[in-house]
Amino acid sequence: MSTEPETAPPSPPLPKKRVAVVFVVAAVLWGIDLLTKQIAVSTLEGKQPVEFLGGLVYFQLVRNPGAAFSMATGLTWVLALVAAAVVVAIIWLSRRLRSTGWAIGLGLVLAGALGNLTDRIFRAPGPLQGHVVDMISAFAPNGQGWAIFNVADSAICVGGVLIVILSLLGKDYDGTSTKDKKKAATE
């Protein structure tokens, strides 16, 4: 019988940090959002909706003072502050990321928050009151089939869905799995 204490097996090395993934995804999508908004403003201003893909999508320019589905239209400055808080939170969390999936998801949400925050700061009627440029209407013009949205809104939704799926699968932002943690705790 040995009197030496049992030593736990060494833990596997942690995955690399994924900060760069967050910022590359955010920069690319933010750039696409800004570009598509500029194209929409320069080509769709004062024009009728443009049908695309046999009416599956319509392009039209709408300036939205509210949040999704035009909610909270009188609280534009609050929405700008919330977007700024989201940006700060994601930047703070990104230093701890070791999961590529989480990095992509948070990069998408960051891009969307930055895209709409840019509009709220720099577009008319003024700082923290700017209206977000929306230009995509699915299934029918004028948002009759679905709310009119933009690339930033899409990035937020896709990023959010990805994060929810990863959470449901037990994948944590730090590259570990809640299933592995539970298994190790029971051993």
| Residues acting as catalytic residues | 134, 153
How many Cα atoms occupy the beta-carbon half-sphere of 74 within 13 Å?
Answer: 0
Instruction: Give the pLDDT confidence score for residue 43 in this predicted structure.
Output: 98
Overall average pLDDT of the 19-32 stretch:
97
Q: Where are the domains of the chain?
A: 18-174
Place of tokens 């443009």: 50
Please determine, for residue 98, whether its predicted confidence score (pLDDT) is greater than 90: yes
Prior bond of 127 cis (ω within 30°): no
Please report which confidence band the pLDDT of residue 16 belongs to, taking 50, 70 and 90 as the band edges.
Answer: confident
Distance CA 33, CA 49 (A): 19
Overall average pLDDT of the 82-97 stretch:
94
pTM here is 0.85
Choose among 49, 70, 51, 55: nearest CA to 139.
Answer: 55
Please report which confidence band the pLDDT of residue 77 belongs to, taking 50, 70 and 90 as the band edges.
Answer: confident
